[in-house]
């Protein structure tokens, strides 16, 4: 599998990495895990690496993301830095090139490659022949041989990355208590909407929608937020979904939680909303030592659910812009037409803008 290498230019790299990586001190030497972890933890937005951008050349494939690997070392460091990953042949590492500013070495080493959207990959850097994890990107995964690798995923990835199947099933049921997409009327809308997409969109979006259980893909997007931008919230989900599973079983000992009627979820939702700690409307079955504030988790879930449903489709929720289309159909005027005409502002093929790409 040959990977396509692109050269967006040193300015592109600096404009996308300096704000996050410029800081006092240099990265510790590879191999010193504790110091490397401490260095990485101080980078406020380390999750932005590698940079998942969009293709810039006019003739480039729109189904690719421009993925830019950035390694930081000191200016003038003579060591070779390469990257080895599942996006290319695993026997061939590819060199990162020095990034220059005003003809001076900045210490950044970078490589940009085109990688298809909706993919996940693992990689390592090779620094002077030594294999190291990406010292910046916090995404790690333990592969079958027990070894950790760095990981990234491209836009619109649809498989779960960090949540377990049972967690996802439970999350679907919780999210449907918040968002309006599971009512009869809304379900009918979504079916009409997905069948009504043009041919090109139907080919790409309808399978996603049905794989995502007729929803607008909120749970998948939440999984992606927890894998990258909001990895700090993954523990909240893991701890709370366990408590929720336990509380639901206490409430209804007959059915599996994911199969329980909506009323069971409503009941638990209401209990969680009222419980801010073990001494405050305690929920039977909830272990407050493991997670002390059920209502706080509801707050996070509410923000995530609505963000996932109405953010740009590239975040893998709002599939085919169905969340926007729902608003567009619900709010219309017989004379003026829709009162949320979002399409002309948004790039093709999701929207219809003639100018914005």
- Choose, by CB under 8 A, the member of 298, 325, 335, 349 that binds another protein: 298
Angle at 215 between CA 139 and CA 173, to 5 degrees: 80
Q: What is the CA radius of gyration of the chain?
A: 23
In order of 226, 344, 355, the CA distances from 151 in angstroms are: 14, 35, 34
The smaller minimum CB distance to another protein, of residues 84 and 216, is found at 216
In 3D, which of 126, 97, 76, 115 has the Cα closest to residue 10?
Answer: 97
Question: What minimum distance in Å lies between the beta carbon of 91 and another protein?
Answer: 32
- Spatial distance between the Cα atoms of 226 and 163, rounded to a whole number of angstroms: 8
Name residues contacting another protein, limited to 103-122 (CB under 8 A): 103-108
Distance between CA atoms of residues 59 and 271, nearest Å: 55
Cis amide bond preceding 50, omega within 30? yes
Pick the closer one to another protein by CB: 89 or 270: 270
C-alpha–C-alpha distance, residues 26 and 76, integer Å: 13
φ and ψ at residue 21, rounded to 5 degrees: -100, -15
Least Å distance, CB 71 to another protein, is: 13
Q: Does 333 bind another protein (CB under 8 A)?
A: yes
- The residue from 214, 300, 329, 349 that contacts another protein (CB under 8 A) is 300
Span interacting with another protein, options 143-151, 156-164, 282-290, 295-303, rule CB under 8 A? 295-303
Residue 44 CB, nearest approach to another protein (Å): 4
Among 258, 295, 329, 349, binds another protein (CB under 8 A): 295
60 binds another protein (CB under 8 A): yes
Residues 162-191 close enough to bind another protein by CB under 8 A:
177-180, 183
The answer to whether the beta carbons of residues 196 and 15 sit under 8 Å apart is: no
By CB under 8 A, the count of residues binding another protein is 76
Judged by CB under 8 A, which of 121, 168, 330, 349 binds another protein?
A: 330
> What are the tokens at 149?
């690798």
Our finding on whether 202 is near another protein (CB under 8 A) is no
42 CB-near residues (< 8 Å, 6+ apart): 23
Determine, following the binding rule CB under 8 A, whether residue 38 of this chain makes contact with another protein. no
Work out whether 356 is an interface residue with another protein (CB under 8 A). yes
| 156 in Cβ contact with 317 (< 8 Å) | no
Judged by CB under 8 A, does residue 37 bind another protein? no
> Which residues are paired to 77 by β-bridges?
none
Instruction: Specify the residue, 195 or 299, whose C-beta has the smaller distance to another protein.
Output: 299
Binding part of the chain for another protein, among 79-87, 109-117, 120-128, 226-234 by CB under 8 A, reads 226-234
**Distance, CA of 317 to CA of 311 (rounded, Å):** 7
Is residue 277 involved in binding another protein (CB under 8 A)? no
Instruction: Pick one of 101, 131, 172, 288: the residue that binds another protein (CB under 8 A).
Output: 101
- Asked if 312 touches another protein (CB under 8 A), the answer is yes
**Distance (Å, rounded) from C-alpha 147 to C-alpha 223?**
23
- Only one of the segments 49-57, 115-123, 136-144, 207-215 lies at the binding site for another protein (rule: CB under 8 A); that segment is 49-57
Between residues 68 and 122, which has the closer beta carbon with respect to another protein?
A: 68
With CB under 8 A as the contact rule, which of the stretches 56-64, 113-121, 137-145, 246-254 interacts with another protein? 56-64
* 233-262 binders of another protein (CB under 8 A): 233
Could you tell me the CA-to-CA distances from 88 to 8, 11, 204 in Å, in that order? 19, 25, 24
Is residue 217 a contact partner of residue 208, using CB atoms and an 8 Å limit?
yes
Tell whether residue 225 is a contact of another protein (CB under 8 A).
Answer: yes
CA dist 23 and 254 (Å) reads 57
């Amino acid at each position: 599998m040959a990977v396509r290498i692109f050269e967006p230019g040193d300015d592109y790299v600096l404009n996308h990495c300096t704000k996050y990586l410029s800081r006092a001190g240099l990265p510790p030497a590879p191999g010193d895990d504790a110091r490397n972890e401490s260095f990485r933890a101080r980078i406020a937005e380390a999750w932005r690496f590698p940079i998942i951008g969009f293709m810039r050349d006019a003739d480039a494939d729109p189904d690719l993301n421009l993925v830019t690997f950035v390694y930081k070392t000191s200016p003038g460091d003579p060591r070779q830095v390469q990257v080895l990953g599942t996006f290319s042949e695993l026997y061939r590492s590819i060199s990162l090139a020095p990034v220059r500013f005003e003809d001076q070495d900045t210490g950044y080493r970078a490589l940009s490659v085109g990688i298809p959207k909706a993919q996940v990959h693992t990689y390592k850097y090779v620094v002077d022949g030594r294999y190291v994890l990406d010292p910046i990107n916090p995404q790690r995964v333990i592969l079958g041989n027990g070894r950790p690798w760095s990981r990234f995923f491209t836009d619109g990835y649809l498989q779960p990355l960090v949540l377990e199947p049972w967690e996802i099933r439970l999350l679907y049921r919780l999210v449907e208590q918040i968002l309006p997409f599971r009512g009869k009327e809304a379900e009918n809308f979504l079916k009409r909407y997905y069948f009504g997409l043009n041919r090109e969109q139907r080919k790409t979006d309808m399978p996603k929608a049905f794989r995502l259980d007729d929803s607008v893909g909120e749970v998948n997007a939440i999984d992606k937020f927890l894998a990258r931008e909001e990895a700090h919230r993954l523990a909240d989900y893991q701890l709370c979904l366990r408590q929720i599973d336990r509380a639901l079983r206490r409430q209804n000992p007959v059915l599996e939680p994911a199969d329980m009627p909506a009323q069971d979820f409503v009941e638990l939702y209401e209990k969680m909303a009222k419980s801010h700690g073990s001494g405050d409307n305690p929920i039977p079955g909830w272990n407050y030592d493991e997670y002390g504030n059920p209502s706080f988790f509801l707050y996070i879930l509410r923000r995530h659910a609505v963000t996932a449903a109405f953010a740009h489709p590239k975040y893998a929720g709002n599939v085919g812009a169905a969340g926007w289309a729902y608003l567009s159909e619900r709010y219309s005027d017989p004379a003026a037409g829709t009162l949320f005409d979002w399409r002309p502002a948004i790039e093709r093929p999701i929207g219809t803008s003639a100018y914005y790409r």
